[in-house]
Each structure stands twice: as C-alpha cells, then as structure tokens.
Amino acid sequence: RQAYLGQEEDRLASRADQLEEFVHYVKGEITKVVGK
C-alpha cells in the first residue's frame, strides 16, 4: 500500500508469479463484466 501512496519503492515487478496471477484474475473479471 505504501508504494501506491508514493511513500515506498514499488517491488511488484520482482514478484512476477504474483503479478501474472493478478493479471490473469483481472482479465477474467473484466471478461465477465464486458461479456466477451
């Protein structure tokens, strides 16, 4: 949370496995909402 507030360094890219899972989840949720 602190990284998003600009108070700490963002290290999300160093956790590629978690980032990939997050992107997969978000894409699935968007697909549900958009219906494509």
How does pLDDT run across 3-35, given as a tens digit for each residue? 767 777 777 767 788 888 889 999 999 999 998
Q: Is the pTM of the predicted complex or chain greater than 0.85?
A: no
pLDDT the model gives residue 17: 86
Query: What is the rounded CA–CA span in Å between residue 19 and residue 26?
Result: 11
Residues belonging to the chain:
36
Q: Which residues contact 12 (CB under 8 A, 6 or more apart)?
A: 3, 18, 19
Q: Let me know how many helices (H) and strands (E) the chain has, helices first.
A: 1, 0
